[in-house]
Amino acid sequence: MTPSLKRTRTTWLTYGLLALYGYFLNILGPITPYLHDEFQLSYTVSSLHFSAFAVGILLVGLGGHLVIHRIGRWLSLAVGAMGLGAGALLLVLGRHPVLTVGGTFLMGCVGSLILAVVPAALSEEHGELRAVAISEANVLASLASATAPLLVGWLAGLVIGWRLALILAAAFALLLGFLLLQPGRVERGDPSARQASHRLPLRFWFHWFTLVLAVAVEFCMVFWCADFLETELHLPRAGAAQAVSLFLAGMIVGRLAGSRVLHALPPRRVILLSNLLAIGGFLLFWTAQRPAAGLIGLTLTGLGVASLYPMILATAIGAARVDESRAGARTTLASGTAILLLPLVLGRFADTAGLRAAYGVVAALLLLLLGLVLLSGRFSKTGTSS
Give the homologous superfamily in CATH for domain 1-195: MFS general substrate transporter like domains (1.20.1250.20)
Q: Is the pLDDT of residue 50 over 90?
A: no
- The CA distance from 144 to 21, in Å, is 9
User: pLDDT tens digits, residue range 76-98?
Assistant: 999 999 999 999 999 999 989 89
User: pLDDT tens digits, residue range 121-156?
Assistant: 888 888 777 788 888 888 898 888 888 877 887 888
Angle, CA of 379, 322 and 340, to the nearest 5°: 75
- The CA distance from 323 to 189, in Å, is 14
Residue 272 neighbours by CB distance under 10 Å: 18
Strand, helix or coil at 189?
coil
Global pTM value = 0.79
Mean pLDDT of all residues in the chain? Answer: 84
Q: Is the pLDDT of residue 2 over 80?
A: no
User: pLDDT tens digits, residue range 359-368?
Assistant: 899 999 999 9
Give the homologous superfamily in CATH for domain 196-377: MFS general substrate transporter like domains (1.20.1250.20)
Q: How confident is the model at residue 195 (pLDDT cuts 50, 70, 90)?
A: very low
Answer for the pair 77, 117: CB distance below 8 angstroms, yes or no.
Answer: yes
Answer for the pair 177, 82: CB distance below 8 angstroms, yes or no.
Answer: yes
Domain spans of the chain, in order of start: 1-195, 196-377
More confident residue, 16 or 10: 16
Determine the average pLDDT of the residues in 29-52.
79
Angle, CA of 213, 231 and 226, to the nearest 5°: 50
Q: Is the pLDDT of residue 386 over 50?
A: no
Q: Fold identical between 1-195 and 196-377?
A: yes
Host H or E run for residue 117: helix 113-126
Determine the average pLDDT of the residues in 350-378.
89
